[in-house]
Copies of this chain bind each other. A is one copy, B any other.
Amino acid sequence: MFKSNVFPVTDIAIGGGTEQIVRGGRHLFHQLPQGFSGMKQIGVIGWGSQGPAHAQNLRDSFMGTDMKVVVGLQADSPSCVRARVGGFSEADGTLGEMYSVIGSSDLVIVHISDAAQAELYKQIFAALKPGATIGFSHGFILKHLQNVGGSFPTNHNVIMVAPKGMGPSVRRLYVQGKDVNGAGINSSFAVANDVDGRATDIALAWSVGIGSPYTFLTTMESEVHSDLLGERGVLLGGVWAIVEVEFRRQCYEEGRDPRDAFVYAVESLTGPISQILSKEGLFGLYKSICEQGDQDEFDAAYTIAYKASAPILAEIYGEVSSGNEVRSVILAGERLKTTPMSVIGDTPMWRAGIHVRAHRSDMIPMNGHLAGMYAGMMMAQIDLLVAKGHPWSEVANESVIEATDSLNPFMHARGISYMVDNCSRTARLGARRWGPIFEKALECGFGSTEKPTDYALMEQFMKHPIHEALAMCSGLRPSVSIAIE
């Protein structure tokens, strides 16, 4: 439960209960100074995946106010050039050395990499000016502090605003949706420390300012568990596995040539399946598969994918919540100084995709088997997150909406690496670790001698509260599809 002195809080009925949200929109931008309660300078530290989106969106949203955004980077960081291209400069005081920006900002938004946060958090906390608020865009740092026995500063507000989509989508939808009030990526927010009663309104102003169509409450712990699970699961690692397995099935069981197989595996998923999921949710997808006569195929694939994915998702959740996965990411930091991350898109399958995209037709088939697999894995993830007590808004965004509205458009535009490698390093490492494990489990599931459709499972699918939740979420955002060249 939360209250705002600035933004209207709405109750929504979702998952059989109610959740509080704040709807966003450009009509609220004039209230940002009030939400930020007199702050003059927002420091955005780092220029990676989320940094540019938050810095540019907030700057644009502040137009006509006396608030400014200053980007802080390590001296000599190669990102300085990119920040200048993004419209920030030393000359007008909107680009500066990281610790100097931290020391002069009223709100410090930390967007350096997870590994860098783990390395530098003590210095960053120490550099805050009295009364300043510190903000994070996901809960990674909390898990790291738990692992090493560290803690947040007790004399500063500590907040989080976590967009449910990668940074480039947060920026693109803000720009592309300029004329459609409320277009953007949903965000969750959390207050880890509220020293002066302002923390909630500051977080809400930040979220409204970056263009979130709606903002819901979570905790940093709930956020990081669902975020790391989601990206390791169906959003990145899992979907990668699904299209690889389906591509092979199309080639070797359906006898298609690689380009045709690519259309039935990848294009079908990033095209019509994602579109209908985005607009009509999982039930809409199911209805449309049934209408084209492929219900049996869907059910069989759903059953296998659900059962193959559920144990892996449970394993990932355990690794994440125990802090192990965060430890792995920190360890990788050292390794990556000498060994680059593996290349994932240079295989015959993804090379076939280059040709397919170059000669793309509007008639992309809706593959019922593929849709069943995808829905089965999504639902396994949804059931796990619900069982672990995550808010329904978080469940819906981390399992479905982030896929369709933020991530899949990147795979559609340029393939697997363009989607995965536009995400955070934590996500990139996680997808590389868990994607192949999902792939093997799906392969074993589909290759197994036992694979009857589980009609009780399908019954659960049809009655699932997620359908109502997705319909609710659809109603809360205008349907601006992200366009990626």
Q: Which of A346-367 contact B (CB under 8 A)?
A: 346-349, 351
| Contact between B449 and A346, CB atoms less than 8 A apart | yes
Residues of chain B contacted by A343 (CB below 8 angstroms): 444, 448
Q: Which of A322-351 contact B (CB under 8 A)?
A: 322, 324, 327-328, 331-332, 334-335, 339, 342-344, 346-349, 351
Interchain CB contact (< 8 A) of A346 among B318, B322, B441, B444: B444
Known: A439-B436, A447-B348. A331 touches B322 (CB 8 A): yes
Give the CA-CA distance A318 to B436 in the complex, in Å. Answer: 19
User: Does residue A435 face the partner (Cβ distance < 8 Å to B)?
Assistant: yes
User: Chain A at the B interface: mostly helix, strand, loop or mixed?
Assistant: helix
Q: Which of A250-282 contact B (CB under 8 A)?
A: 251-252
18 A–B contacts, CB within 8 A, in A order? A311-B339, A314-B339, A315-B332, A318-B332, A318-B334, A319-B331, A322-B331, A342-B441, A342-B444, A344-B444, A346-B444, A346-B447, A346-B449, A347-B447, A433-B437, A435-B440, A436-B436, A437-B437
Closest to A440 in B: B436
Copies in the complex: 2
User: Does residue A402 face the partner (Cβ distance < 8 Å to B)?
Assistant: no
Residues of A within 8 A of B (CB): 251-252, 311, 314-315, 318-319, 322, 324, 327-328, 331-332, 334-335, 339, 342-344, 346-349, 351, 432-433, 435-437, 439-441, 443-444, 447-450
Interchain CB contact (< 8 A) of A314 among B311, B335, B437, B444: B335
Residues of chain B contacted by A314 (CB below 8 angstroms): 335, 339
| Contact between B311 and A342, CB atoms less than 8 A apart | yes
Residues of chain B contacted by A444 (CB below 8 angstroms): 342-344, 346-347
